[in-house]
Amino acid sequence: MIICSCNAISDQSVRASLTGENSPRTPGAVYRCLGCRPCCGRCFATVRAIIDETLSQSGAASTEAGAAASAAMALLDTNRDGHAQGACGQDCASCAA
């Protein structure tokens, strides 16, 4: 199923990117792994859910990684309305996520 219509990313491609020892742990890292960048950010919650599900199934979920990802999601949610991808022109963490 397509979960990101901006980049035509499927849930299967997100899951496939999460295999291996150095797999991404945040939505932004998943996008970089897949060779793209988030646009509108509406799919971040779904990507985060897939990451959490996949890591918990593999037993690789750590409290520290989960806390860092939650903080990143909170920042994205705070800035989503007035802070579109690259809109600030400062390459800040919200734009780069």
What residue ranges do the domains of the chain occupy?
Answer: 2-82
**Model confidence, pTM:** 0.60
Q: How many residues does the chain have?
A: 97
pLDDT in tens, 22-72: 888 899 999 999 999 888 889 999 999 999 998 888 765 455 555 666 666
The dihedral formed by the CA atoms of 61, 45, 17 and 14, expressed in degrees to the nearest 10: 130
pLDDT of residue 38: 86
Say which residues have a Cβ less than 8 Å from residue 53's Cβ, sequence separation at least 6. none
pLDDT of residue 71: 67
Higher pLDDT among residues 96 and 9, named by residue: 9
pLDDT of residue 15: 92
11-35 CB burial, b ≥16 within 10 A, e <16 = bebbeebbeeeebbbbbbbbbbbbe
Is residue 2 predicted with pLDDT exceeding 70? yes
pLDDT of residue 97: 47
Higher pLDDT among residues 21 and 87, named by residue: 21
Bridge partner list, 2: 10
